[in-house]
Structure 1
Amino acid sequence: MPPVVRRLPAYEPPVGMPAVIPRPRPRPVWVPVPEPPSPELDATRLVWVVLEVLDGRRSRRLLREVAVPGLAARLGGTVRVRATRMVRAPRVCHPSRFVAEISVTIRREGRAFAVAARAEHRSGRWWLTTFSVLE
């Protein structure tokens, strides 16, 4: 087969004309599809129910409605009569769509404490899976 000779495109501008520099095409950029928002979470209610049970103001049975069974059993054994109040609204962080980490400051017996909790969305509801009062 004989060699094929092709004419090269002009690479020098014509004399007296301004040079036109070809610009490279922008490359497509991958944009991830945004994750849908997390289901609605009432963190104040979840934390407040547990605190009321721990203070002896509500029945221990209520823990079964907001916490997983292992956590409900553990928290049910730590009930004492005392007065607790929240200092401010809970702060909520969503590490993933169906997980929420909750922190709140409470006052109990004249002292300030921190509460840390983790909630997971299962079976159409938010359930507390971890709850601890940091002293």
Structure 2
Amino acid sequence: MADSRRPGPTRPPIRLRPAPVADPPYVDEAPDLWPRPPGQLALDLFGTGRPAAGRPAGRRPDPRPRPGHPAAPPLPPPATSTPEANRAAHRFVGTCLEILNGYRPPGQIRALVEPGRTVEVTEQIARAAARTPPVRRRSTRPAVHLLRLRVCQPRPAAVEVAAVVTGGGRSWAMALRLEHRRGTWLCTALQVI
């Protein structure tokens, strides 16, 4: 006679494991339970309220290097972009949005892309087009909008751009790199995320 009951579970049973300790140690516990990485200062969790020894309360530390301690390396300057690079980034992203909204044919992007990268960039634009709502030809309002654009110029002939785009109730990002070649800014990489 055949068994008419349902077959048993195909997944292994769920195992319950103890939760890791999340509370700070008590005063009477050994300090080895919460080891500190080297160089990290101790945090006064128990409110003794005593200031650190050797430093008056309310004063900033001395910025001069002390003997025997290496000085911290200076921070690099922030990577900002020139107005020309900003215009190039806005122009390229604006062209991509016009293609996604149906105002331009996709072939017009070729003039703004490095010749060896045209196929990769058009594939990424097609990937973005799959996320957009259907284009309504008679509508004057674009279906895809630019929410935010960030431009960074790590070196004088290169610009990295991050754009947040929304359309059809969804948002996504576009990351691209523009390089100044032959007197114009050309896209060398585009990634739709």
Q: Which residue among 146, 149, 170 is the counterpart of 1:86?
A: 146
CA distance 1:131–1:106, shift in 2 (3 Å): same
Amino acid at match of 2:97: L
Amino acid at match of 1:86: L
Q: CA RMSD in A?
A: 2.2
CA displacement at 1:53 relative to structure 2? 2.0
Instruction: Give SS of 1:117's match.
Output: strand
In structure 2, the partner of 1:120 is: 179
In structure 1, the partner of 2:99 is: 53
* TM-score normalised by length of structure 2: 0.44
Matched, 1:109 2:168: yes
In structure 2, the partner of 1:65 is: 111
Conserved in 1, the CA contact under 8 Å of 2:160 and 2:178? Answer: yes
CA displacement at 1:39 relative to structure 2? 7.6
Amino acid at match of 2:164: T
Moved over 4 A (4+): 79-82
- How many pairs were matched up? 97
List alignment gaps of at least 5 residues for structure 1. Answer: 1-36
CA displacement at 1:38 relative to structure 2? 5.4
Deviates further, 97-106 or 71-80:
71-80
* TM-score normalised by length of structure 1: 0.61
Question: CA separation in 2, counterparts of 1:93 and 1:110?
Answer: 28
Amino acid at match of 1:104: A
Instruction: Give SS of 2:102's match.
Output: coil
List alignment gaps of at least 5 residues for structure 2. Answer: 1-80, 136-142
CA distance 1:122–1:114, shift in 2 (3 Å): same
